[in-house]
Amino acid sequence: MKKFVTVIALIVTSTYGFAQDIDRLIQQNDVERIIKTLSADDMEGRGTFTPGIEKAAKFIENEYKTIGLKPMEGNPGFRQNFTMIKSTPVKSAVSINGESIPASNYAIVSKASFNWSNMADAEVATVTPDMDFRQEYRKYFTRGKSTLVIVDPKFEEFFKQLQRYINGGTAFKDAPIAPPMVLVLGKYDAVKSFNISDEVKRDELPLFNVAGIIPGKTKPDEFVIFSGHYDHLGILKDANMMQGDSIANGADDDASGTTAVITLAKYFKRLNNNARTLIFVAFTAEEIGEYGSTYFAKTVAPEKVVAMFNIEMIGKEAKWGPNSALITGFERSDFGPILQKNLEGTAFKFYPDPYTDQNLFYRSDNASLARVGVPAHTISTDQIDNDKLYHTVKDEFSSLDPVNITSTIKAIALSSRTIVSGQDTPTRVAKLER
């Protein structure tokens, strides 16, 4: 019994020591500095392919340089460059049953020009009021068939959100051109005819993740990844002018996660005792299809990646209150239990994702590596079921809780320590069958 008490005392003392170290090395004023910079109006919402995202990338690069990170192998600098084909609508027209549909009531996802003039050109699907529009949208987006989707007016709010940034499309340069999808908001007893045309301009444009590493001291070929996406929606030109604001600042989504990545890089560099190689990566193009993380996943051998801490929206309290966060896919590996074990003696607790109907495990940048077996999970505090600021111009720094952000970053640092040190290796996630 005496020996057991001594062991417990050592554990608590060790955790307390780490906590003291964290309080000295991770400070709220620095967290605020980073997130305020990334979500400022002059970043123009960090939209993909815009000057704003270039400005954000330069800021992150400078932070990495100041911290003393090294570029990933094969990269001359911190940018991980690749190119995408951006398809921009030039001219479109939609009519159903001979009735012309106004542009405000349709959205087209297409990567090449097309013309549908008879019923055989596309399948017709309907999203009725009793369905989950988000789920149905994901289903038709990934099915690989030309599809006309009629969306019930009940879903107008989410339809308008989609409409702001899905017209056109983006694809990797060597990817096959996916069949188009057209969404029309309205009620139709039956679709008897349609005429839909879309003229598209295709441009080859650069994109870039921003990645740096701290080489491992004793296990350099084993990688632990800390990630978040630094892009957002940019300027919503027609969406919120009534409110006098058009910049989707993306303070929570995901300047908060990117801030965590930079802060953790600084913390682990100062400790400088990591056994495994640590990769810190800010992904681009998450909002338009997770393209940055998809590209990144092709550049690392999945069998070398021990764990991935993807950090997404930690700006406000979780549903359980302060000192708590969710982990997506909690049941898919023992990543979560390892993290929680390392937090014994602290007030912080991780919980399984309660929003399973949202399919969050495959909706963030952890997905590309999780699909190939990596214990890649997303940590978040967002109450996604009732977050009214999500993807709006009101997602600004003033809406966030800096104390919550800082405590969550500290919890990630503490909870990851036995994975970073090589003591713990999470079990693999079951590969996604295709």
Does residue 334 have a cis bond before it (omega within 30 degrees)? no
Distances from the Cα of 275 to the Cα of 81, 206, 217, 268, 428, angstroms: 28, 34, 5, 11, 20
Nearest to 178 by CA among 84, 85, 110, 86: 110
Cα atoms in the 13 Å half-sphere on the side-chain side of 364 = 27
Mean pLDDT of 391-410: 96
Sheet holding 147-151, edge to edge: 106-109, 181-185, 147-151, 123-127
Which residues, 6 or more positions from 1, have their beta carbon under 8 angstroms from its beta carbon? none
Mean pLDDT of 185-213: 94
Listed in sequence order, the DSSP H helices in 152-222 are 156-166
Question: Is the dihedral angle over the CA atoms 301, 302, 305, 308 positive or is it negative?
Answer: positive
DSSP code for 47: B
| Residues 315-355 pLDDT 10s | 999 999 999 999 999 999 999 999 999 999 999 999 999 99
Q: Taking 80 as the threshold, does the pLDDT of residue 242 lie above it?
A: no
Nearest-10 Cα torsion for 241, 244, 247, 249? -130
Identify which of 58-72, 140-154, 158-172, 239-253 has the greatest average pLDDT. Answer: 58-72
> Rounded CA gap, 412 and 379, in Å?
9
What's the predicted TM-score (pTM) here? 0.86
> Rounded CA gap, 290 and 370, in Å?
13
pLDDT for position 12: 38
